[in-house]
Amino acid sequence: MPASARSRPEDIVENLSSGDTSARLKALRDVKNQIIGNRSKKLCYIKLGAVPRVAEILASDTETNLLVQSAAAVGSFACGIDSGVRAVLDSGCLPHLLNTLSNGDERVVEAGARSLRMIFQTQLAPQGATFFRSGGALENILRLLASANDDISEVAASVLARCCDFPEQRAAIAQAGALQGLLHLLTHPNPRKVETALDAIASLTRNDEQQSRALLNAPGNPFLTVIIPTVKERSGKSRLLACACVANISRTCPEYGTERTTGPPGSARDVAAAVISALVKLVDCPGEAGEEAPSVLAHFIADSEDLQKLACDADAIGKLSGKLAAGSGVLTPRHRENIFHALAALCSTREEGRRQLVESRALLPVISGLEDAAPGVRAAACACTKSLSRSVKNLRTSLVDASIAEPLFKLLGDPDPSVQATASATLCNIVLDFSPLRSQVVLDGGGVAQLASLAHSMDATLRLNAVWALKNLLFMADSATKARVMREVGYPTLAALAQDPEDGVQEQALMLVRNLVHGKPEDIEAAVRPETGLLEVVDRKLASGARPEVCVQALYVMVNVATGTEEHKERVMATCTPSVLGRFLADESNPQIRVAAVWVLINLTYSKGGNVRSRIERLRRLGLDAQLHKLLSDPCSDVQDRAKTALEQFHEALQPLPQPSVQMVSAHIC
Amino acid sequence: MPSRTSPPSCTLLSVGQAFVGTQNVDHSGAMKEERWTVHVRIQGCDLRHGTLCGSMEALNVPAAESSVVTFWEGEIIDNINHTFFTEDWANPDTDLKHWSRFPSFAPLREAVNRDGGKGIDLARHSHVYMRWKEKFFVNVGPDCGLTIAGFYYLCFSRVDGTIRGFYYDPNSSPYQQLELRATTEGRNGHSFGCYEFR
């Protein structure tokens, strides 16, 4: 064995920076030969600082052999080991590697292209932000995309695929004319080049209406003639990427119309069915295609109940839960996350989807996913639980045995904010009246305190979810539960939430008040006694012209308060509500507001005795009975019917008690 | 989005609303009529999908020892999600025979007989037609003396919040009748709780 082969790695690394060209070349060759396929050698040389020295050669040398060897060594470091990719990226050699692609010598170009492909195949590939900073990089890449050398254009495409994270980047790439070059590459006979081009096109169009539309309307119809047929042919990866392109267009270009329930053969509807069928089949595909197929499926169907139905009919739920049941331990975290997201989308709106999921064997893996080590998996399992819990039946049955409340409450304190957000949203459903889980964990455990403290969160989403959950918790709740919740929340906090900067939080807080005063007179009294200040806050909403959604809820608070004692009815009379009620009765834009306003009048005039005559007198002076008359021909039948009831009560209460005259009543109404 | 013919929402047919009334069996020819008290609460209502669900409690039923609570799921006839013709549990003849027992159905009968009544503008109709199917017993076992094999044809009046219904089960006494009215549950007016799924 020659003496040099026994050189110590330290010496070889030292020689990488030697002043002697041949010594540098020899050291490069030694490093490259030793690390190929050898993980521990790679780690050893990374530790010794070899990568920056190799990068330096790539940056400053001009000799062909040195460039070829240094480019190859960089690729070797980046192959198959994350810390290698990181070391290469940290060395800052990327722009120099890109420069090799413009070298006059074919061997340099080839070595550079191979290494770049290695780097850009990994998840660690530089996000566009850092990459775009190097001046002229984009122009360089686009020039290479048009290269006559297929290897080079392929590398350029795979680099572009990793630079599409932000709208500005996509816009810049598109503006520079990348789509044209990528579409051209699609027609290449080599399937791997087609795949790379599809990858870049899918990245460029994801969540981007402008780029999706550009693809849909590209001259020569490559979308119809190349991408759509690819859905059914070629390798798993290509099929997946073609499906992703269709999904992107379907999500952002409504005119494409995959959601139309009928259509001629070959229409968007047919394509949607083909895409779904391809994606469901891909679920069983080994490798990346199988791993990513559920994610593309979730993206495709997320906004469309119709597509969700198509996917359920294609047995997507059975396929996906089969994967999970086969042992979630054998799936990568990313794979589990994708499957949970797909299942969450499949049963987000359709009870039939939920039924299928419960009947499949997926419930247990979903529950254990709530405690997964990976935050992405926890959030996805949570999203899945949320979809499942949007069902009264499931809350009463299948979810009860599954002991989901405890892990969910634990997730409220998760270090990952997106997990917290999904967990708090899921709890909104779990705490409902008909869910036996409510008393089990929420009231016995510290759940109420946790939700109450979350209502103070600086994060508006968490605050919204917390108030929403507390509102649902109080739906049909008994007096003890209401008292318990208000001990934790506090009236000042509730009053503050009703005046939150976020309209959504305000609306939820008012619904919470509405549920508090839905019950016995004692419940009403507890909430509207002057010390709480609640009735004033609600009244101000109505007087100040808050948003319609907020006003509807404020009106229902008044409706419910007016079901209490005579005194409670008088308390409503003493607010500004009666004087602004006319405005709501006349609100032609919103039947919900009109109905709620009529219900206030019905309840204020409901009782026979007490002050009812005086109240009616006061309401009449405000002209409200005349307004009720107008509502008898309201376009909304609910408004009409309730107005009729209200007027009947106005008249009944004024009849001399011994002999109510039916004729007189009708005469007044008509 | 609901089309022109979908029944509009009605505040008396929303979540949390309670109904009280009776169910009776008229043993035609036999000596006496049986009658028991029924409480119903609506727990879910999804007009977009034309579905609703809730609980039904039967008190002092002759055949049962205690009160019996069941959970039911319902379909609203909206000509979008559900038509007057029952999908799995009955044939069109049975459907028509039962719907025809509601006086308010009389003006619709011919159209339903002709083409299922798909052109009827239910948004302008005074009543909401539904089917409720009990799914499981909540507080007792299946051997409690009652059966949930059949389902109800129901007719809800938007104007006064009353519900009439007929139980259909080929193996039970025909035309068991349900009569319910919206109740304020002892309050001095109509109170409305609320919840929403997230």
How confident is the model over A331-345, as pLDDT tens digits? 999 999 999 999 999
Q: In A, which residues are within 8 Å of B16 by CB distance?
A: 475-476, 518
B193/A518 CB distance under 8 A = yes
Q: Report how far apart, in Å, the C-alpha atoms of A511 and of each of A329, A507, A619 are.
A: 43, 6, 26
Flag if B194 and A556 touch (Cβ within 8 Å). Answer: yes
Instruction: Answer yes or no: is A231 within a domain.
Output: no
Residue B9 lies in a domain: no
Specify the pLDDT at position A317. 97
Domain annotation covers residue A246: no
**C-beta neighbour count of A318 within 10 angstroms:** 18
Residues 6+ apart with CB under 8 A from A472: A428, A429, A431, A432, B195, B196, B198
Q: Identify the residue among A347, A350, A392 best suited for mutation to test binding to B, counting B beta carbons within 10 A and taking the highest.
A: A392
| Residue A509 lies in domain | 488-670
Task: Map A44-88 to HEC letters.
Answer: HHHHCCHHHHHHHHHHHCCCHHHHHHHHHHHHHHHCCCHHHHHHH
Question: Residue A215 corresponds to which tokens in the numbers above?
Answer: 């693809």
CB-CB neighbors (< 8 A) of A519 in chain B = 191
pLDDT mean over A21-34: 92
Cα dist. A460→A495, A505, B133 in Å? 17, 8, 41
SS3 B12: helix
Confidence at residue A412, expressed as pLDDT on a 0 to 100 scale: 92
> Is the separation of the CB atoms in A171 and A210 below 8 Å?
yes
Of all residues in chain A, the one with the smallest CA distance to B9 is A638
Contact B53 A642 (CB under 8 A): no
Which pLDDT does position A664 carry in this prediction?
37
- Residue B191 covered by a domain: no
Range A138-155 average pLDDT? 80
pLDDT digits (tens, 9 = 90+) for A120-146: 777 776 655 555 555 666 777 788 888
* Number of domains present in the structure of chain A: 1
Q: Is the pLDDT of residue A75 over 70?
A: yes
B193 contacts A514? CB cut-off 8 A: yes
Q: Which residues of chain B approach chain A closer than 8 Å at the C-beta?
A: 8-11, 15-16, 43-44, 49, 51, 53, 55, 71, 73, 123-124, 126, 135-136, 138, 158-159, 184, 187-198
Top-confidence residue, A123 or B87:
B87
SS (H, E, C) A549-601: HHHHHHHHHHHHHCCCCHHHHHHHHCCCHHHHHHHHHCCCCCHHHHHHHHHHH
Residue A494 above 90 pLDDT? yes
Q: Is residue B1 part of a domain?
A: no
Identity of the residue in B9, B10, B190 whose CB atom sits nearest the CB atom of A602: B190
**Residue A544 CB partners (closer than 8 Å, separation 6+):** none
**B8 contacts A636? CB cut-off 8 A:** yes
Question: Least CA distance to A521: which residue of chain B?
Answer: B187
B8 CB neighbours in chain A (<8 A) are: 591, 636-638
pLDDT at A395 over 70: yes
Output the six-digit token pair for A406: 């405890």
Residue of B nearest to A305 (CA): B49
**Closest chain B CA to residue A569:** B188
More confident: B28 or B195 = B195
How far apart are the C-alpha atoms of A147 and A100, rounded to whole Å?
14
Which has the closest alpha carbon to A282: A301, A271, A295, A272? A295
Residue A273 has pLDDT above 80, yes or no: yes
Name, in order, each residue with C-beta under 8 angstroms of A630's C-beta and a sequence gap of 6 or more.
Answer: none
Residues in chain A within 8 Å Cβ distance of B189: 559, 562-563, 602-603, 606-607
Residue B6 lies in a domain: no
As a whole number of angstroms, the distance between CA A278 and CA A260 comes to 19
Residues from chain A that touch B73, judged by Cβ atoms under 8 A, are 393
- Using the beta-carbon criterion (under 8 Å), do B189 and A392 form an inter-chain contact? no
Residues facing B131 on adjacent strands: B75, B153
Please report whether residue A110 resides in a domain: no
Q: Dihedral (C-alpha) A456, A460, A461, A466: value to the nearest 10 degrees? A: 20
Q: CATH number for the domain including A512?
A: 1.25.10.10
In chain A, which residues have their Cβ closer than 8 Å to the Cβ of B124? 637
Question: Is 0.90 surpassed by the pTM of this model?
Answer: no
Residues A365-391: pLDDT tens digits? 999 999 999 999 999 999 999 999 999
Q: What is the domain range of residue B174?
A: 18-183
Q: Can you tell me the mean pLDDT for A207-212?
A: 92
SS3 category, A535: helix
Q: What pLDDT, on a 0 to 100 scale, did the predictor assign at position A478?
A: 93
For residue A501, being part of any structural domain is answered with yes
Closest residue in B to A470 (Cα–Cα): B195
Q: What is the pLDDT of residue A268?
A: 81
DSSP 8-state assignment for residue A532: G
Measure CB to CB from residue A392 to each of B44, B191, B194 and give the nearest one.
B44
Domain assignment present for A654: yes
Query: A641, A647, A669: best mutation site toward chain B, by most B Cβ within 10 Å?
Result: A641
The Cα–Cα gap between A16 and A287 comes to 38
CB pairs under 8 A between A and B: 109
What is the chain A residue with the closest CA to B125?
A637
Spell out a b/e string for A11-48, using b for 16 or more CB atoms within 10 Å of the CB, else e: ebbebbeeeeeeebbbbbbbbbebbeeeeebbebbbeb
Give B11 to chain A, closest Cα distance, Å. Answer: 7
Q: How many domains does chain B have?
A: 1
Burial letters for A172-198: b for 16+ Cβ neighbours within 10 Å, e otherwise? ebbebebbbbbbebbebeeeebbbbbb
- Chain A residues with beta carbon closer than 8 angstroms to that of B53: 392-393
Q: How far is Cα B152 from Cα B176, in angstroms, rounded to an integer?
A: 9
Contact residues, chain A, for B159 at CB < 8 Å: 641, 644
What number is the average pLDDT over the span B68-83?
Answer: 94
Of B8, B53, B197, the CB nearest to A429: B197
**Closest residue of A to B1, CA-based?**
A305
Chain B hits for A565, Cβ within 8 Å: 188
Closest Cβ–Cβ partner in A425, A475, A511 for B16 = A475
Burial degree of A108 (CB within 10 A; 0-12, 13-18, 19+): buried
Question: What per-residue confidence (pLDDT) applies to B112?
Answer: 93
Chain CA centroid to CA A424, Å: 14
The mean per-residue pLDDT over the stretch B167-176 comes to 82
Residue A61 in this model has a pLDDT that exceeds 70: yes
C-beta neighbour count of A575 within 10 angstroms: 18
Closest Cβ opposite residue A607 in set B53, B159, B188: B188
Q: Is the pLDDT reported for residue A670 higher than 50? A: no
What number is the average pLDDT over the span A466-474?
A: 97
Is B53 in Cβ contact with A476 (below 8 Å)? no
Q: What CA–CA distance (Å, rounded) separates A293 from A301? A: 12
Round the average pLDDT of chain A to a whole number and report it.
88
Position B164 in a domain: yes
Which of A396, A426, A428 has the CB atom closest to B71's CB atom?
A396
Q: Predicted confidence band at A160 (pLDDT cuts at 50, 70, 90)?
A: confident
Question: Is A664 within the bounds of a domain?
Answer: yes
Q: Do A564 and B71 touch (CB under 8 A)?
A: no
**Residue A511 to residue B192, Cβ atoms within 8 A:** no
Question: Is 80 exceeded by the pLDDT of residue A437?
Answer: no
Pick the residue from chain B with its C-alpha nearest to A477.
Answer: B193
* Average pLDDT, integer, range A258-275: 74
Task: Write out chain A residues lying below 8 Å of B197, CB-based.
Answer: 389-390, 428-429
Res. A114 pLDDT band, cuts 50 70 90: confident
pLDDT single digits (tens) A500-549: 999 999 999 999 999 999 999 999 999 999 999 999 999 999 999 889 99
Mean pLDDT across B109-129? 89
Contacts of B195 in chain A (CB under 8 A): 432-433, 471-472, 475, 515
pLDDT tens readout for residues A556-593 = 999 999 999 999 999 999 999 999 999 999 999 999 99
pLDDT beyond 80 at A234: no
Sign of CA dihedral A516, A520, A523, A525: positive
d(CA A534, CA B68): 40
Helices (H), A283-332: 287-301, 305-313, 316-325
The first and second tokens of residue A384, run together, are: 């899945």
Domain annotation covers residue B90: yes
- 3-state SS assignment for residue A136: coil
From B22's Cα to the closest Cα of chain A, the distance in A is 24
User: CA–CA distance from A661 to each of A148, A218, A602, A606, A649 (Å)?
Assistant: 97, 76, 20, 18, 13
Would you say residue A530 lies in a domain? yes
- Name the region of B181 (left: φ>0; alpha: ψ -120 to 50; beta: rest): beta
Q: Is residue B192 part of a domain?
A: no
Q: Is the pLDDT of residue B131 over 50?
A: yes
CB contact under 8 A, A475 and B198: no
Evaluate whether residue A80 is within a structural domain.
Answer: no
Q: What is the pLDDT of residues A298-356, one digit of tens each?
A: 999 999 999 999 999 999 999 999 999 887 568 999 999 999 999 999 999 999 999 99
Closest residue on chain B to A424 (Cα): B198
Among A206-210, A231-235, B123-127, top mean pLDDT goes to A206-210
Q: Give the residue among B33, B52, B39, B119 at the shortest CA–CA distance from B84.
A: B119
Residues of A with CB below 8 A from B123's CB? Answer: 637
